[in-house]
Amino acid sequence: MTRKWLRWLPAVAVPAVIAAGVLTGSLPASAGDPLPPKSPEQVLQLVAQHHKQALSGTLEQSSDIGLPELPKTAPGAGSPDTAWLELLAGPHTARIYSDGADSARIQMMDRMAERNAVRNGNELWFYNSQDNTAAHVQLPADAAGRQESAKALMPTPEELAAKLLATLDPSTDVAVGADVQVAGRAAYNLVLTPKSSATLLASIAISVDGQSGLPLGVEVKARGQADPAFRIAFTSLKLEAPDASIFQFTPPPGATVKEIPVPEHKSDAATPRPDTEHKDAGRHAVTGTGWESVIEFQAPADKTPAGKAPADKAQPGGQSGAAALLRQATVPVSGGRLLTTSLVNVLILDDGRIFAGSVPLERLQAAAAQR
């Protein structure tokens, strides 16, 4: 899986994509009526032949990767810089609606508030009821069918499965487990198991709807951990078009609305495929292959080194809100700090370099020593 961390994890912090994230061992419950037996190749083909469908449903995500629960009211809580940490800490529920590539809505149900992301044609809205703020993006005409969607708040099983399956290579065993039932639908249980014993990851399972080929859930198990470290799956699902009014959004009275620039589109085709080592436009380098890959991120020269806050954004005590939250989730190690989880480790060095991978700390330190 030489492109694993590049393809499905945020560039600034690898654990996000696990939110991303993001993976499974074996989904609970057994299917009522057995599905026709299929080989791993046949299940992969079923997924590949799946087409975008109109749907509505509820997603449940749970994480048990060892991150502390982060305070909801601390400086920086809820900001884009810390959203990936919050997504990985604790359970989350979201309602999802989709009708083709250009109509989508996700409602994240927080404890005391609701966050919405809505895509309707070339209109993209983000709204947070906690502070009654909204952001609006007018997408370019050529954005039709592209993935600047409302799904930015939470990855869907379909998105995660697509990223994972796109990276399959001989470093992974692929098998089909016993049928499972997800959201009342019989599904094949496609299990991916790393061949390497040096990775923190034990297995990934993707539940594939037996009729449509739609991925219904993704779950990951870490080595030495009985319960899933990460799981996201539908708990209810209707494969029919939602009412068109679902995709219409108007900011509530009194809302603060911000217009944000059109995001630059970067296709996956521009992402190089690493072998043992490569650099991508000076942004990162990869050492190792497959599940043992380690990625190095180098902070740009005009940016503040990792873990240190710019003076103009510092909170009392000398740290930005994002840095303060990050500090709570890391532990000091020689030369920097370590964000450690059951699935991935991130070594943040004082000189601004970041080394991340689904490997033990010692391998990150060895990669850093070679640079």
Report, as an integer, the average pLDDT of 247-255.
95
Q: Which token pair is 341?
A: 């989880």
Residue ranges with strand state E in the chain: 55-63, 92-98, 103-109, 114-120, 123-128, 133-138, 172-182, 185-194, 201-209, 215-222, 230-238, 256-259, 277-280, 284-287, 294-298, 331-333, 336-340, 345-349, 353-357
| One-letter identity of residue 362 | E
Q: Please give the pLDDT value at position 279.
A: 47
**241 and 92 housed in the same domain:** yes
pLDDT tens by residue, 253-296: 999 999 988 756 554 443 333 344 444 444 678 888 889 999 99
Query: Does some domain include residue 279?
Result: yes
Q: How many domains does the chain have?
A: 2
- Report d(CA 166, CA 162) in Å as an integer: 6
DSSP state at residue 161: H
- Report d(CA 59, CA 233) in Å as an integer: 6
Q: Which domain holds residue 314?
A: 270-370
Q: Please give the pLDDT value at position 240.
A: 94
pLDDT bucket at 90, cuts 50 / 70 / 90: low
| One-letter identity of residue 94 | A
Nearest C-alpha neighbor of 114 from the set 123, 105, 102, 122:
105
Q: Which of 259, 284, 311 is the last residue of a domain?
A: 259
**221 and 309 housed in the same domain:** no
Query: Does some domain include residue 171?
Result: yes
**246 and 324 housed in the same domain:** no
pLDDT tens by residue, 191-214: 999 999 999 999 999 999 999 999
Query: Does some domain include residue 265?
Result: no
The residue count for the chain:
371
Query: Does some domain include residue 250?
Result: yes
Q: Please give the pLDDT value at position 144.
A: 54
pLDDT bucket at 1, cuts 50 / 70 / 90: very low
- Report d(CA 355, CA 13) in Å as an integer: 10
Q: Which of 259, 294, 311 is the last residue of a domain?
A: 259
Query: Which is higher by pLDDT, 279 or 4?
Result: 279
Contact by Cβ (8 Å): 218, 164? yes
Buried/exposed 58-75: b ≥16 CB within 10 Å, e otherwise: bbbbbbbbebeebeeeeb
CATH at 82: 2.50.20.10
Nearest C-alpha neighbor of 23 from the set 57, 52, 59, 62:
62
Q: Please give the pLDDT value at position 71.
A: 52
Q: Which token pair is 280?
A: 């991508």
pTM, two decimals, is 0.77
Q: Is the pLDDT of residue 22 over 60?
A: no
- Report d(CA 200, CA 357) in Å as an integer: 9
Instruction: Compute the Cα dihedral for 187, 244, 153, 102 and give only its sign.
Output: positive
Nearest C-alpha neighbor of 293 from the set 281, 302, 301, 284:
284
Contact by Cβ (8 Å): 246, 125? no
Q: Please give the pLDDT value at position 107.
A: 94
Residue ranges with strand state E in 53-151: 55-63, 92-98, 103-109, 114-120, 123-128, 133-138
Report, as an integer, the average pLDDT of 131-140.
92
Query: Does some domain include residue 48?
Result: yes
Q: Which of 206, 240, 259 is the last residue of a domain?
A: 259
Q: Please give the pLDDT value at position 263.
A: 56
**184 and 283 housed in the same domain:** no
CA distances from 64 to 7, 132, 219 (A): 23, 31, 11
**180 and 248 housed in the same domain:** yes
Q: What percent of the chain has pLDDT over 90?
A: 53
Query: Which is higher by pLDDT, 312 or 217?
Result: 217
Q: Is the pLDDT of residue 361 over 60?
A: yes
Query: Does some domain include residue 207?
Result: yes
